[in-house]
Amino acid sequence: MRLQIDSEYDRLEAVLVHRPGSEILRLTHQNMRAFLFEDIPYLRRMQDEHDAFVATMRAEGIQVVYAEDLLLDIVQDESVRASLVRAVVQQAGVPAIGEELASLRHWGPKELVELLYAGLTAEEFYHVHGRRVPPARGRAEFLIDPIPNAYFARDAAVVVRDAAVLCKMHYPQRVRETTLIAAIFEHHPEFRDAAIAYGGTSEPTEDRPYTIEGGDVIILSPEAVLVGDSERTRSATIELLAAKCFKFGRVQRVYELPIPTERSFMHLDTVFNILDRGMVLWHAEVMENLPYVHRYEPDPSFATRAMRVPEPRGIREILADEFGGELTVVETAGGSRHFAAREQRSDGANAFSIAPRTAVCFERNELTIRALEQQGIRCIAIKDSELVRGLGGPRCMTMPLRRGGGES
């Protein structure tokens, strides 16, 4: 699998996703907020919607690979399986059960992969082993928590040029998502030779508190990247990421954009996306009120550092300069303040560009779709009654692996 992402709008060739699974069934009204949900999706309908989304991408000639299938491949290897299980049970605070999980005496490879997403309760472990193991402090029933946000594949990792950035999740409830993706990138034959620009397990200094999530990373061009300074991505991490990208020659400029630390604006890609060279979609309430923009460039004195330089330009001027021409901005809901607020809640700005001027959108964001179509954007509307309940859109659900150049 060759990795190459030089923009957000070149024709998509390969993408990684996770189909929502039994981890969604773990949600209750008592625990859903702890797992960062505000409602409980209907799993079968949610899977139908996700399958239709995948079918849409495949119909456009896009190779879609499932993270769970890649995990199934790597857990066949005893040493990889042992290492992955050890990391998971240590994160969960229950190292005593690691040997039982890794041995496959009671769970086959498929069951183990499902468990890595759906978690494990103390009663389930007792039912299989006849041994009581108390949950770690702070857990009511789970020895290993479920990770119901895993279908938002964007957040765990992102490809910058030809290298992977393995993210560090802000909330502990999501840390295992990156653990699983990191195992894939570091051990699967399809990715084993891929460069890792940030977050590899051999770089513990890049671990918490240096949190960063993939939804905050947007590729402007082969030379420049935007990163959101958000609730979930720290400014210090952006500087560190910039230094690593400069060191390995991936980009030349990194821009830091501060966005409000509110639930409705959790990542930069919830308020801003690129539709084509010189054409963007944004939520005006945030993007037209940025208090500042920081720019990082390579430090000529220290190859391993990033240098923050003064940035007098506003975001419109920066984008126009980076695209090398005029900038066209499409506002969510066509600029209506009232309906933009409504469609922001259902990820109106989180359109997923699969080719120049071709984007996948949630069908409920009707006014945003209308505004896009008026600008000549081909919108592919997908059903979203259950997928939207996790507060993420089409871009959130995808981790692009490779894009090709050229026009659609």
Task: Please list the active-site residues.
Answer: 396
End-to-end CA distance of the chain: 22
CA angle 185, 57, 60 (to 5 degrees): 120
Residues 245, 197 contacting (CB under 8 angstroms):
yes
Are β-strands 272-276 and 253-258 bridged in parallel, bridged antiparallel, or unpaired? unpaired
Amino acid at site 380: I
CB atoms within 10 A of CB 391: 20
Q: Which two tokens stand for residue 351?
A: 């359109």
Tell me how far apart the alpha carbons of residues 134 and 173 are, in angstroms, rounded to a whole number.
19
CA angle 95, 98, 100 (to 5 degrees): 140
DSSP codes joined into one string, 32-57: TTTTT-SS---HHHHHHHHHHHHHHH
DSSP codes joined into one string, 99-150: HHHHHTSSS-HHHHHHHHHH-EEHHHHHHHHS---PPPTT-SSEEE---GGG
Amino acid at site 201: T
Tell me how far apart the alpha carbons of residues 158 and 245 are, in angstroms, rounded to a whole number.
13
Cβ-in-10-Å burial (0-12, 13-18, 19+) of 262 comes to: exposed
Residues 313, 320 contacting (CB under 8 angstroms):
no
CB atoms within 10 A of CB 106: 13
Q: How many Å separate Cα 227 from the centre of its chain?
A: 13
Tell me how far apart the alpha carbons of residues 396 and 324 are, in angstroms, rounded to a whole number.
28
Residues 263, 391 contacting (CB under 8 angstroms):
yes
Helix (H, G, I), strand (E, B) or coil at 292: coil
Residues 171, 233 contacting (CB under 8 angstroms):
no
